[in-house]
Copies of this chain bind each other. A is one copy, B any other.
């Protein structure tokens, strides 16, 4: 892994014990696909990061400086994952956010995950709490996802389907949920919990996906399921616990449409 941390424009090698990200999860992050030295969906990641920074009152670092450091780190990288972490910085009296905090941010270059076949999902025992103030943004309070992922691993599954406190499906621990019903793809609303994924946003903008409140019955009776995220693209789902689905042409079709706009997500790179 190659990584670097900064306070403003000052390079650090590690992070202080007093960092508010470490103490309170007081920060935001973006996890992005790197392809031939570029971040294909950078503008969408940036929009979400700014939305989160506005909601939490965290100052954004100088964008031109960040982009220059990203360009240095990803230059010549054929494929990989870039994580940008932005925390409020150090200090303050307890929880009180200091007005003059200098945000600490870091970049980490990681390998692209190994392609997998169709995924096995487990309906996580851990539920997502309803918190509109934090819903949609990619903040660093992720214990629910950590516990949900542990639920999925205990069930020997690849990913966990997370439900809200009312029992309705919301998303996977690190991907959004796509549900095919009557030949149309829908995805749950994220106004109370969940992260508004960048690829989910692209699919909505392209008219390939619509938002609909779904029950677990709707998911279990669906024609097909898939997951999406900005690193791995569209991932077919083979099973949700005991319920299994055969491959569906609508999943392959959605992947082809994505690959037309973003060729790095083509089938040859991530087998169905």
Q: Chain A residues in contact with chain B, CB under 8 A?
A: 1, 3, 5, 13-27, 29, 56-57, 85, 87-88, 93-97, 106, 108, 113, 126-127, 129-131, 133-134, 139-150, 153, 165, 173-174
Partner of A17, one of B3, B57, B126, B140: B3
Partner of A14, one of B17, B21, B148: B17
Partner of A22, one of B85, B97, B127, B150: B85
Partner of A141, one of B5, B57, B141, B150: B141
Say yes or no: B56 contacts A143, CB within 8 Å.
yes
Do A174 and B22 form a contact, CB below 8 Å, given A16-B15, A129-B130, A141-B143? Answer: no
In the complex, how many angstroms separate the beta carbon of A123 from the nearest chain B beta carbon?
A: 15
- Write out the residue numbers on chain B whose beta carbons fall within 8 Å of the beta carbon of A20: 146
- Write out the residue numbers on chain B whose beta carbons fall within 8 Å of the beta carbon of A85: 17, 22-23
Give Cα distance in the complex from A15 to B24, angstroms. Answer: 15
In the complex, how many angstroms separate the beta carbon of A27 from the nearest chain B beta carbon?
A: 8
Give Cα distance in the complex from A130 to B165, angstroms. Answer: 8
Known pairs A95-B142, A95-B149 / 8 extra A-B pairs, C-beta < 8 Å: A5-B17, A17-B108, A21-B23, A26-B146, A94-B149, A95-B148, A129-B129, A139-B143
In the complex, how many angstroms separate the beta carbon of A133 from the nearest chain B beta carbon?
A: 6
Say yes or no: A142 contacts B24, CB within 8 Å.
yes
In the complex, how many angstroms separate the beta carbon of A227 from the nearest chain B beta carbon?
A: 13
